[in-house]
Chain A
Amino acid sequence: MSLFQLLSVSASGLAAQRARAEVIVENLANAETTRTPEGGPYRRRDVVFEPQPQGSPFSAVFQTELEAGSMGVAVAGVVEDAREPELRYQPGHPHADANGYVAYPRISPAEEMVDLMGAARGYQANVAAMTAAKDMLSKSIELLK
């Protein structure tokens, strides 16, 4: 059962890192968005991870102390950056305020790229774990041959 649980743990990791990557990509795409439907510039968003005990389809039947240590991950929420937007002096801009300043999102593409690389690395690590589990499961099946 451990190996099947492992699959669901890794799957949760994949989902979480992918959600993180999606948010980062949105940030990058909206790095220069000065007006959103809610008014005001786009605000940088970030995911919050939290550990999540994993059940599996079998766990209801086989629940034992063994499964206590197994911890997947879940996206607890998406938070907006609370910092003030960046103001740039652009008097001709349609979204300029009375003083000629335009509010831009506080997003550094370099930072976002590094974060994205982190998400990719995390994703890859979970893929490796899943592959190892599948390999071990198939070795177990071979014992039947």
Chain B
Amino acid sequence: MLSPLSHDLGRYMDLLAERQRLVASNLANIDTPGYRTKDIDFQFEFLSLAPGGAPHVIEPADLVVKNDGNNVSLDREARLLAENALRFNVASQLVRAEIRKVRMAIEEGRSA
């Protein structure tokens, strides 16, 4: 019923939620000795078109490691937190617009 675009938007939102979960893990462990920042390669996962597949968890390489072995950067995680939430918001609005369009076509057809 919904266009292929809507399915892609859904996949986009799935990946954003995954990424956000890892951001939350990083923030929870911001002071945990030895903990390494976790992430996913968003572009790669999105373009690899595997709906329902689990994305690979990777460890970003270019982060500063503190004395206790922890390499979580508050700035990086805070930025990702905001960005992911914003993109999720945009995608959900676009899906709603798609739904609204189809519904409008159905209802207008009835009343014509």
Contact = CB atoms under 8 A, between A and B. Distances in A.
B83 to A, nearest CB: 10
Contacts, number: 115
Contact of B22 (A50, A70, A142): A70
Interface string A123-134: 001101110110
A39 B22 CA distance: 46
Given A3-B20, A69-B38, A129-B24, A20 B31 contact: yes
Contact of B81 (A12, A132, A142): A132
Nearest to A132: B85
B28 interface: yes
B94 to A, nearest CB: 11
Contacts of A2: 14, 17-18, 20-21
Contacts of A142: 92, 96
Given A5-B21, A125-B77, A139-B88, A16 B28 contact: yes
A66 B38 CA distance: 13
Main secondary structure of the interface of A (DSSP, over half): helix
B3 interface: no
Chain B at the A interface: SS class: helix
Interface in B43-100: 54, 57, 74, 77-78, 81-82, 84-85, 88-89, 92, 95-96, 99
A114 to B, nearest CB: 13
Interface of A: 2-3, 5-6, 9-10, 12-13, 16-17, 20, 48-51, 54, 64-66, 68-73, 118-119, 121-122, 125-126, 128-130, 132-133, 135-136, 139-140, 142-143
